Structure 1
């Protein structure tokens, strides 16, 4: 009986090793295969995608355009689940700790801090961008695309869109919006109760922009620097705490989501809200969420511009399908459609001059923004993202240095 047990155990170990070898071989074949073979392998499969689903227009773009097109063109069923940074990192960590061989998710929508944490966990598949036919159109010469929070992308994630932080105000209530961060301080004191900062990603991007404005545009570039952060953040928290009594609810509470701040703005409780998408004001007006008198702008000396990306989980069970989905999302037709303010208003990551002539013409004819500045007019006020540790520290310190000081 003992010999039989040893024999069975040996066979199980052998099968396990064979299975692992087959998985590695299949992955290697994807790296070596031509695109036609990858498309064939992806045909009629299901791809699991995890992404933030907090915007109705983005959800509509995915549900009424992307999913039907993938089904029609490739027979791919794209199933989307809700989740963002911490959810994706938590999933990857849990799967790593339990030794799960195949991830629940294939494609993920990420950037910056999440990209950094997933790289630390060795949870991303790649490099893969060179496998994508539409990669030839990507504007890799643009540093706002080639680097993600100061991190070289190195083929481990594929650019999907490019945006810049914008202030949004109600022109019926704010005749002369503060033109700079210095003027913002004066405005908040002169108009108590009409301003606040959300304690989430967009709020932290606002604080990072303010931090750069205080330190100087290039002072915080490169790797995280503890001494530089401490010096600049000390000034920032002093300013925020001096303004705190003039914030909404006297700074006793802060919105925990951007949706909550948007609602306060729509209700007229505050005069300002923010968006990481510099053209979002147009689609929020089209949705009837924001008043028609809403306008967007970028204060001096500038705000952060960044890109968002698509990654593949290292343990994905359908890498071929994930590649086909991402390649479609980078295609001229998919990028063009989501660039329209009526659809999403997301900035394209493609270099227009690299596109076929017909697509160059289409991109040039994208409807103009009605309530937001043209992208070219604010490019000179674009700050490059800081290293991911700055975001992590701001999250912690905003809570300890500001919120918990009540």
Structure 2
């Protein structure tokens, strides 16, 4: 995901980065703009990026004012997807072909975090391919922080540069999306024009049209994702009777001749089964203690899935700033579930793991049999390092996986917006997504619904010898959108009040 820091003061970024280079008259214009921004600006959304930082309500309460409000009834809830996929925004094949012709022989300045050699290498591969296919020169403008691109576009808008912006495409998510949307710095309604956007199956995966709970309104195209993935070791390998050879049985469970489905047949497949499984296998599951990011991810997954029987109007409040009413509507189901679950956890819920690493260590040491992670690629790597048992298997819950999506966006004043669309569409191609997912290239999970692809296309996402513990490439992942960030702080605070003293 793009590296970000809190963009608390856009006017300071603007002044430090751009004012000294502008004419005096322009500086006066910017000063008036900065006064206006001072009156409006507040802390932007805080997004859980690679460092997995949690967020506070104060950071987000006003950043979303100019983004469409969360929906309040069944029809409005569907608008988050409809706004992106609206037929009025889509293009015919002929129209798209014409756009591709207009895009040829242009340059696209792609502003993206440049701190990872593997990611940089993948972008170089992208540049080579779009050059071959469309004669588009993709230039990677390496950023230390995505807020640099935000401040640049804001400066251009304040200087009345509405057509010749220097940023054609930007890698973005969370807080920076909220900031750019707030100041109306992004092109709208273009995502539905991309032919490959349909490969994400957005009508079934609403997470593709929400950025940390906020509707994208066609301003961002999904590029990659991380989903909450569970991993499991069969309990039979731990609790053999004295008449059974334990080591022999564990070996049999790990052998490739055992089918994947057979190896996870006793694992829970949804939130209700998880509670039943924990009661049948007391002490064999736990989760990290809030405010750990992974802990909050599990609790938000539970909050969403435990309230699926509520009305669409009530469920839509998950994507709004928390109110006393939404707390009363949604939190009781979570607390009731946890009250019933905790006595059956590791150490009867009196102690909790400190982090995802500690959780994995408990599985590796055989103290528990079920864990979860946002970094699915860690599981086979941990098995190979002997940190997890050989018979560990990854799976996703059938009622959904909380997903963090990262996106690309086109500024409203991009000089080469047609070429930027072509590049964004190629980023969503089967070829580019499969290449990105390769562990040797980047290892970033695809946003495509692989289960909807042809068998031949699915093979592109697999390796010649897929690691037995890896999540199968054709797994059906129902992506659950992140709730509004204000829920994270609330859940953490209230959890500590209820269970923290234990």
Tell whether the 8 Å contact from 2:436 to 2:445 is kept in structure 1 after alignment.
Answer: yes
Give the 3-state SS of the residue equivalent to 1:336 in structure 2.
Answer: helix
Mapping of 1:260-299 within 5 angstroms? 261-262=359-360, 271-276=369-374, 281-282=379-380, 285=383, 290-299=388-397
Give per-residue Cα distances to partners, 1:118-170, cap 9 Å, x unaligned.
53453433333256564475544444365327765432111224664321234
Q: Structure 1 residues 169 and 218, CA, compared in 2 at 3 Å: closer, same or farther?
A: same
Tell whether the 8 Å contact from 2:233 to 2:391 is kept in structure 1 after alignment.
Answer: yes
Task: Tell me, in whole angstroms, the C-alpha distance in 2 between the residues paired with 1:144 and 1:186.
Answer: 33
Q: Does 1:208 align with 2:271?
A: no
Q: Structure 1 residues 126 and 287, CA, compared in 2 at 3 Å: closer, same or farther?
A: farther
What is the match of residue 65 of structure 1?
Answer: 122
Task: Tell me, in whole angstroms, the C-alpha distance in 2 between the residues paired with 1:403 and 1:104.
Answer: 44
- Root mean square deviation of aligned Cα: 5.1
Q: Does 1:310 align with 2:407?
A: yes
Give the C-alpha shift of residue 187 in structure 1.
Answer: 6.8
Q: Structure 1 residues 68 and 397, CA, compared in 2 at 3 Å: closer, same or farther?
A: same
Give the C-alpha shift of residue 303 in structure 1.
Answer: 3.0
Task: Tell me, in whole angstroms, the C-alpha distance in 1 between the residues paired with 2:433 and 2:204.
Answer: 17
Tell whether the 8 Å contact from 1:133 to 1:327 is kept in structure 2 after alignment.
Answer: yes
Q: Structure 1 residues 403 and 200, CA, compared in 2 at 3 Å: closer, same or farther?
A: same
Task: Tell me, in whole angstroms, the C-alpha distance in 2 between the residues paired with 1:75 and 1:377.
Answer: 36
Task: Tell me, in whole angstroms, the C-alpha distance in 2 between the residues paired with 1:118 and 1:262.
Answer: 38
Give the 3-state SS of the residue equivalent to 2:354 in structure 1.
Answer: coil
Give per-residue Cα distances to partners, 1:36-60, cap 9 Å, x unaligned.
44453316xx53213997xxxxx63
Mapping of 1:246-265 within 5 angstroms? 250-251=350-351, 254-255=354-355, 258=356, 261-262=359-360
Q: Does 1:400 align with 2:413?
A: no
In the alignment, structure 2 segments of 5+ residues that lack a partner are 1-21, 31-95, 160-164, 240-265
Q: Does 1:155 align with 2:218?
A: yes
Tell whether the 8 Å contact from 1:244 to 1:251 is kept in structure 2 after alignment.
Answer: no
Tell whether the 8 Å contact from 2:114 to 2:120 is kept in structure 1 after alignment.
Answer: no
Give per-residue Cα distances to partners, 1:174-211, cap 9 Å, x unaligned.
6754552313553785348x542564554333212212
Tell whether the 8 Å contact from 1:165 to 1:275 is kept in structure 2 after alignment.
Answer: yes
Give per-residue Cα distances to partners, 1:327-382, cap 9 Å, x unaligned.
332122111223457763724426887x8xxx862334643673355466655xx3
TM-score (norm 1): 0.63
Q: How many residues align?
A: 358
What is the match of residue 346 of structure 1?
Answer: 445
Q: Structure 1 residues 252 and 372, CA, compared in 2 at 3 Å: closer, same or farther?
A: closer
Give the 3-state SS of the residue equivalent to 2:316 in structure 1.
Answer: coil
Give the C-alpha shift of residue 116 in structure 1.
Answer: 5.6
Tell whether the 8 Å contact from 1:339 to 1:366 is kept in structure 2 after alignment.
Answer: yes
Tell whether the 8 Å contact from 2:207 to 2:479 is kept in structure 1 after alignment.
Answer: no
What is the match of residue 23 of structure 1?
Answer: none
What is the match of residue 334 of structure 1?
Answer: 432
Task: Tell me, in whole angstroms, the C-alpha distance in 2 between the residues paired with 1:247 and 1:51.
Answer: 41
Mapping of 1:48-59 within 5 angstroms? 48-50=111-113
Q: Structure 1 residues 397 and 98, CA, compared in 2 at 3 Å: closer, same or farther?
A: farther
Task: Tell me, in whole angstroms, the C-alpha distance in 2 between the residues paired with 1:298 and 1:136.
Answer: 23
Task: Tell me, in whole angstroms, the C-alpha distance in 2 between the residues paired with 1:279 and 1:169.
Answer: 15
What is the match of residue 27 of structure 1?
Answer: none
Tell whether the 8 Å contact from 2:188 to 2:218 is kept in structure 1 after alignment.
Answer: yes
Q: Structure 1 residues 50 and 75, CA, compared in 2 at 3 Å: closer, same or farther?
A: same
362, 365, 368: which is aligned to 2:457?
A: 362
Q: Does 1:385 align with 2:481?
A: yes
Task: Tell me, in whole angstroms, the C-alpha distance in 2 between the residues paired with 1:338 and 1:191.
Answer: 35
Higher helix share: 1
